């Protein structure tokens, strides 16, 4: 977690590299301040069942992001959200909208114990105040990404990580995010207004670690680490299949664990 790559040297040596302008992203130019504390409870859409609102606890804090665990779920399904995510609300929001808080998918107890479980969960809990929740930025009007542009992106297979990345392909509202120095196993398609992609230097701005690029000389960056082979041609990225026309993803570009894609965030 101490990884703190900076782009500076790479950008100095590659003056012609394309950097995705901040206007491409659904992110505030200034990252939102993280005012949550460990243990605070809030309402979050269940990432495995987005129509359900559940109670979640903050189990990690990194930059403008929260690591969340749904109450009544196990610790194998933690997920990360920005503090300005439209998926997050203070406790009481759901009821005010006429809804009911739901047990998470995979609720580990007897379903009939849900109401008492909920009562015990919220009794005396540290409830995240309204002031912690930040306004979600608007989506850019259209997809302005171009092939070759550099960005920072969440590794969906290791969602605590944000890494140097390059746009490998553009198809309508979809972009193919490829991870610099990795051979393609972590690449994915997402909408241009995903909340999991950030402008270059965003990690630094929000005080979040940025992973160094991998050592495989895959796309763009040629890191000068021990064992890398200078002058070796980049290998062609794998799995460059475009998304299907109905906006879903082909199975091999889906993250293994979580079926969530931030493109469903409102």
User: To the nearest whole angstrom, how small is the minimum distance from the Cβ of residue 226 to ligand MLY?
Assistant: 17
155 in contact with ligand MLY (CB under 6 A): yes
Count of chain residues binding ligand MLY (CB under 6 A): 8
Question: Of residues 94, 161, 210, 219, which one binds ligand MLY by CB under 6 A?
Answer: 161
Distances from the Cα of 30 to the Cαs of 27, 64, 132, 203, 207, in angstroms?
Answer: 8, 10, 16, 11, 12
Q: Residue 244 and residue 174: Cα distance in Å, rounded?
A: 10
User: To the nearest whole angstrom, how small is the minimum distance from the Cβ of residue 255 to ligand MLY?
Assistant: 12
163 in contact with ligand MLY (CB under 6 A): yes
180 in contact with ligand MLY (CB under 6 A): no
158 in contact with ligand MLY (CB under 6 A): yes
Q: Residue 135 and residue 32: Cα distance in Å, rounded?
A: 9
Question: For residue 252, how many C-alpha atoms fall within 13 Å in the half-sphere facing its CB?
Answer: 7
261 in contact with ligand MLY (CB under 6 A): no
Residue 260's contacts (CB-CB under 8 Å, 6 or more residues apart) are 47, 48, 50, 79
User: To the nearest whole angstrom, how small is the minimum distance from the Cβ of residue 141 to ligand MLY?
Assistant: 30
145 in contact with ligand MLY (CB under 6 A): no
Neighbours of 146 (CB within 10 A): 12
- Return the residue matching tokens 């306004």: 135
Is the Cα dihedral 217, 223, 228, 231 positive or negative?
positive
Identify which range of 21-29, 69-77, 86-94, 178-186 contacts ligand MLY by CB under 6 A.
178-186
Identify which range of 36-44, 50-58, 76-84, 154-162 contacts ligand MLY by CB under 6 A.
154-162
* 125: exposed, middle or buried (Cβ count in 10 Å: 0-12, 13-18, 19+): middle
Site for ligand MLY in 202-221 (CB under 6 A): 211
Strand 65-70 to 162-171 pairing: unpaired
Identify which range of 20-28, 31-39, 79-87, 153-161 contacts ligand MLY by CB under 6 A.
153-161
Question: Of residues 117, 179, 188, 198, which one binds ligand MLY by CB under 6 A?
Answer: 179
Question: For residue 132, how many C-alpha atoms fall within 13 Å in the half-sphere facing its CB?
Answer: 24
188 in contact with ligand MLY (CB under 6 A): no
10 in contact with ligand MLY (CB under 6 A): no
Give residues in contact with ligand MLY (CB under 6 A). Answer: 155, 158, 161, 163, 179, 182, 186, 211
């Amino acid at each position: 977690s101490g990884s703190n790559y900076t782009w500076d040297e790479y950008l100095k040596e590659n003056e012609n590299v394309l950097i995705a302008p901040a206007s491409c992203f659904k992110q505030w130019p200034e990252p939102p301040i993280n005012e949550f504390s460990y243990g605070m409870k809030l309402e979050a859409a269940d990432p495995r069942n987005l129509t359900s609102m559940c109670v979640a606890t903050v189990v990690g804090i990194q930059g403008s992001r929260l690591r969340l665990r749904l109450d009544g779920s196990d610790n194998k399904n933690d997920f990360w959200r920005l503090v300005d995510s439209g998926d997050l609300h203070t406790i009481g929001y759901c009821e005010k909208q006429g809804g009911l808080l739901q047990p998470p998918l995979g609720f580990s107890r007897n379903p009939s114990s849900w109401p008492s479980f909920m009562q015990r969960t919220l009794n005396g809990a540290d409830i995240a105040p309204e002031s912690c929740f930040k306004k979600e930025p608007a989506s850019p009007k259209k997809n302005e990404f171009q092939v070759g542009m550099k960005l920072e992106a969440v590794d969906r297979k290791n969602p605590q990580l944000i890494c140097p990345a390059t746009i490998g392909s553009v198809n309508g509202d979809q972009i193919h995010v490829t991870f610099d120095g990795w051979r393609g196993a972590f690449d994915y398609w997402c909408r241009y207004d995903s909340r999991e992609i950030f402008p270059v230097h965003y990690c630094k701005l929000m005080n979040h670690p940025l992973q160094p690029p991998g050592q495989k000389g895959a796309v763009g960056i040629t890191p000068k680490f021990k064992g890398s082979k200078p002058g070796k041609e980049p290998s062609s990225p794998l799995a460059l299949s475009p998304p299907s026309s109905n906006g879903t993803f082909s199975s091999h570009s889906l993250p293994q664990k979580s079926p969530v894609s931030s493109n469903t965030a409102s």
